[in-house]
Amino acid sequence: MTIAQIISSDGYIGKLNKRKKEETLLDAQFYFPHVSDYIQGAIKENKPFIFSARSGNAQIGIKTDRSIGEKPVIEGSKLLMEGRIQNLNPLLDQALDLFKKGDEIGRVAILDPELRISDVRHYLHKRLFVGTRVEQGFYKGFDIGEEIDPDTGKPCDYISVHLEPYQYRFEPDAINPSSIGSVIKKGRSGLNKIRSRVQLDLENNFLAPEQLFVGAVKISLGDIIGIVDTIVEPDQSRIEHLPARILDPFRTFRDRQVELYNWGDQSICLADIRVRIRFFRTRNPLTVPLEKTKIKNGYRLYDLLTTSEIHHLFTSIEPDSLGMIINKGNFIQIPEASDSKGEAQLEVIKNCIFESTFRKPPSKKTATENGYQKTIEKLSVLGGVNSRIFIGHEFPTPEVIDALRRSGLRTFLIKTHNPSFEDYYISKMIQLTHTRHSDCEFLRYDAQIDKLYTFYHGCFMEPNDKPRFDAVRYWFAFYGSHTKDADNRLMIDLLKHLAAAFGNTMGIVHGGGPGLMKESNDIARQYNIMSIGVAIDLEGENQKSLTTCDGLIKYREGLRLSRQDHIQKLSNLPIINTGGYGSAEELSISITSMKLHENPLAPVILLDPAGLWENARQQIIKISQKNYGPKFTPRLVKPCKDAKEALGELSLFLSHPDNWYKKNKIPKQNVELAREKSMRIRRKRFQQCDVEIFDRPNDRLSF
């Protein structure tokens, strides 16, 4: 059977009645230009339904609801509803004056008893994730209740969810008519300008009478719809959830904000409050299988579209456009100004962003009219920060990125082959991709090889390689010559033995170029070892960058030291082959980083059967003897004549690092300082949670 879609498309303010300035209520008429035959029939049959206000309005304390006792009017495919708008936030003052005819206002949802899910347990942690994970298969922070459905007389489950320990607190000095108008016109994207997220001890905080509280519950949905109840537990508290009550299928993930108002005369402890949610079946627009991690963390563009569909999207970009915004089935071209880096270009972008929010942009064809019906249907499950997409042929300037981000756009899809970047641009992408409140997605489509890459912790990789990247504990940096005259057989032999010993807990980082870099990359792919190339634009020096690495990032010409710093901070075990001037520089940088405690202290392996590096090693010893550098530095440098000797040194170190430090007389205070400092620097640089600092033994290695 086909499950009907119980939620209408967006509705708008059709008419506003005049009000006196002292009144906090505004009477209005809500207009839904097109509702489905199912919704029309359900309303005519008097099936239960709700009006759900736009969430951005509710999150600033605006209560938008239909007028009590007034029934909707159906005129063809149109739906008219008498409603009212009320300001419950004392900080907003004249917020009601900012509403205008044509503003998006909310949606209608049919609470069809035939589509209600009676047994929630069947969906828990399969299509529905709720609460906080405590251990494998066990979540806390919610309770399952049972009630008798008044329309069917059958027992049905509902879920009561605990509040998360934080709130969104309004900043009075940031509130003005412009910032409030931005929320009303554009939605939630303007909220960060007027409020801050702060941690909260729920046990010791209360919701007082006539007070608004904006917090969150933790919930992720699959192909079902959640409806938040107006009544909040405890039932007698007279706390009401404002009417932004629809939890969309697929599009609701991570934390869902809730807006509570206390109409009672008693303060209620926040730890006692429970938000009640019921669930209904809906039509599944996806053509991909449901996966737990995607339901829990949210679907991304690359989860939904094939590379063929992505390639087809770019054919809609007009030649004189900076790019295109996709939102709600609309394809909005961004005209390129004469100066694409000037303020006029930013103003053009702002106008296009606003236009993309229109249901039917004036004199523009919608995506469905351009033959993208199936693509848009798939993208409809994208929610929150993923729902708006910018596509273009070049990565936008930081100013353009910021202008789009302020509108709520977070997904950037660029069609380009092996681009190079400035250091600051890579740092910006890292911060925007992994910082909790930015959560951007930078995607690169390479039409030459028909592959889609996503930016992850400092490099571009295929989306399904992200778990492989996260599984790596030991990152080996392989340094050596790119010339054909260098003998790389010893390094390749070592890499094969390491791959056999470490498996997927090992990854390699290299310069992403020819010679040793290419050979090590080829061996890594042969053994299914994660290979990251940190390249630089040196095509003029006969060092063409690789494109076959699992992860790749390329720096602009002249940024040699920035590129080297990237390799240093990503890796933790340097392996240096016989090589040229560049390898000598990399040796010096490696030991200097350890001297400054920017890298965890580890053996610096010199693969040196012919004694090429012996003079350099003696120089390091002389520097130490003259107190020009730490005494322990020479004891980190380990020359090895063959792979067996190198494996032996690595085995001693990794099996029990503390014993190795003691045997080599590395002072404990330096070890601990390097562990603390290197972890702090690396987490800040690449936003990685887990960083290997050699603070625990590994007795599972099989050398």
Does a structural domain hold residue 702? no
Does a structural domain hold residue 191? no
Q: How far is the C-alpha of 374 from the C-alpha of 348, rounded, in Å?
A: 30
Q: How far is the C-alpha of 396 from the C-alpha of 418, rounded, in Å?
A: 16
Does a structural domain hold residue 693? no
Does a structural domain hold residue 176? no
Does a structural domain hold residue 663? yes
Residues 427 and 548 reside in one and the same domain: no
Does a structural domain hold residue 25? yes
Residues 133 and 152 reside in one and the same domain: yes
- Do residues 239 and 260 make contact, with C-beta atoms less than 8 angstroms apart? yes
Residues 359 and 245 reside in one and the same domain: no
Residues 280 and 133 reside in one and the same domain: yes
- Do residues 250 and 283 make contact, with C-beta atoms less than 8 angstroms apart? no
Residues 592 and 513 reside in one and the same domain: yes
Residues 436 and 567 reside in one and the same domain: no
Instruction: Give the residue from 393, 421, 456 where a domain finishes.
Output: 456
Assign residue 513 the CATH number of its domain: 3.40.50.450
- Do residues 95 and 127 make contact, with C-beta atoms less than 8 angstroms apart? no
**How far, in whole angstroms, is CA 226 from its chain's centroid?**
23
Q: How far is the C-alpha of 273 from the C-alpha of 270, rounded, in Å?
A: 5
Q: How far is the C-alpha of 557 from the C-alpha of 51, rounded, in Å?
A: 57
Does a structural domain hold residue 420? yes
Task: State the pLDDT at residue 68.
Answer: 84
Does a structural domain hold residue 171? no
Q: Produce one character per residue of 8-32: b if its CB has 16 or more CB atoms within 10 Å, e if not.
A: bbebbbbebeeeeeeeeebebbbbb
Q: Give mean pLDDT in consecutive 10-residue pieces for the chain, a chain of 703 residues.
A: 79 89 86 92 93 93 90 92 94 89 93 93 88 78 92 92 95 90 79 89 96 94 93 93 92 87 95 96 76 83 90 90 85 88 87 74 52 78 77 93 84 94 96 81 94 96 94 91 66 86 90 82 87 85 78 94 94 88 89 94 92 90 92 94 91 94 96 96 91 88 62
Residues 96 and 131 reside in one and the same domain: no
Structural tokens at position 508 = 């390699």
Structural tokens at position 125 = 């942690």
Residues 501 and 570 reside in one and the same domain: yes
Residues 371 and 260 reside in one and the same domain: no
Q: Which helix (H) or strand (E) holds 80?
A: strand 78-87
Question: What domain range includes position 3?
Answer: 1-110
Instruction: Give the residue from 285, 311, 339 where a domain finishes.
Output: 285
Residues 519 and 647 reside in one and the same domain: yes
Q: What is the dihedral of CA 684, 685, 690, 695, to 10 degrees?
A: -90
CB neighbourhood size of 210 (10 A): 11
Residues 259 and 326 reside in one and the same domain: no
Q: Total structural domains in the chain?
A: 4
Residues 487 and 514 reside in one and the same domain: yes
3-state secondary structure 167-234: EEEECHHHCCHHHHHHHHHHCHHHHHHCEEEEECCHHHCEECCCCEEEEEEEEEECCEEEEEEEEEEC
How much is the pTM? 0.85
- Do residues 331 and 324 make contact, with C-beta atoms less than 8 angstroms apart? yes
Q: How far is the C-alpha of 241 from the C-alpha of 309, rounded, in Å?
A: 40
Assign residue 447 the CATH number of its domain: 3.40.140
Strand ranges inside 222-295, DSSP E: 224-233, 239-241, 246-247, 255-262, 268-269, 274-281
